[in-house]
Amino acid sequence: MAIVDVSHLSYSYGAIAALRGVDLTIPQGALYALLGPNGSGKTTFLQILMGVRRGYTGGARVLGIESSALTVKHRERIGYIAEGQSLPGWMRLEQLEAYLAPLYPRWDKALARDLRARFDLDPARKIQTLSRGEYMKAALLCALAPRPELLLMDEPFTGMDALVKDELVRGLLESSGTEGWTVLLCSHDIGELELLADWVGFLGRGRMQIAEPMETLRQRFKQVDVTLGGEHASPALDPMWLSVERSGRQLTFLASDAGEGFDARLAARFPNAARIESRDATLREVFVALARRARDERSMEAAA
């Protein structure tokens, strides 16, 4: 079952196209990482899924319902955490939990208590006295205690130190794994996403560039280092190569079409190479390569 099913989704701010014909399907139980540089449309995309931004064209179905038709009852099944979101600072955490619990029929007091202990949060502390990391832990507790079927997270790790990030990641992993929640997470913290996600999508210039299981991405993208021989000093560049760099006889690139027989194809492409090495690309390397391509395409569009 698809928890999110988006087809040909487009949205514009006046003359500025934020999303251009986006297609994306998120299966139930997935932990989906949505990547993209600033201005790529990620926040707009999440706001459309929440039903708080309308006026789009195409389809955006969430929990089987068109997002523009989501009601309060539907939103009870969706959790949302965003950078900069506001919690009532004058409330103690225990007061905030008591206020929210009647609003969500599925609010689980035992789960809230477990998350509070896991995140080492003091229920008697006022929200306004919490550190940045504690604040986001409290936000995550409030989003998870209603047992949402879908959790949307927009840059939740911004400004946190490594220890707090690790605690949040472990808490999210343990909770989603136990409860079977579907999570869509946007973040620039690529290292955390590589640990968390089992699906990944890349949004560039308002278009979905890739959308596939993490394991497929690892098999398809390879980082290649070649030491060229003298007879093969100027190889023709392949359009499937990204982040190509050349320094003397050293050639490095990211191949986006690896698969069965890839090493043999490399050997045939560089028959006189002194050395050829390839390895699985990291998620950061893939992100940087795709972001550079999107930037270059934007520059060419502006120059045209």
Please list the rounded mean pLDDT of every run of 10 residues in the chain (304 residues). Answer: 94 93 94 89 93 93 95 91 88 96 93 88 95 87 91 80 73 67 86 84 91 92 89 71 89 90 89 90 91 78 64
Assign a CATH topology to domain 2-216. Rossmann fold (3.40.50)
What's the pTM value of the predicted model, to 2 decimals?
0.87
What does the pLDDT look like over 251-263, one tens digit per residue? 999 999 888 889 9
How much is the pLDDT for 302?
63
**CATH 3.30.70 domain extents, the chain:** 220-303
Q: How far is CA 112 from CA 33, 84, 265, 273, in A?
A: 25, 22, 54, 59
Take residue 33 and report the two structure tokens written for it: 């990482």
Residues carrying CATH 3.40.50.300, the chain: 2-216
**How high is the pLDDT of residue 238?**
84
* Whole-number pLDDT of residue 191: 77
pLDDT digits (tens, 9 = 90+) for 10-23: 999 998 999 999 99
In 3D space, the residue among 182, 181, 186, 192 whose CA is nearest the CA of residue 154 turns out to be 186
Pairing between β-strand 250-255 and β-strand 241-247 as defined by DSSP bridges: antiparallel
Task: Summarize pLDDT for 104-160 with one digit per residue, the tens.
Answer: 999 999 989 988 988 889 999 999 999 888 888 899 899 989 999 999 999 877 766
Burial class of residue 187, CB neighbours in 10 A (0-12, 13-18, 19+): buried
**pLDDT score recorded for residue 240:** 84
What CATH number labels 220-303? 3.30.70
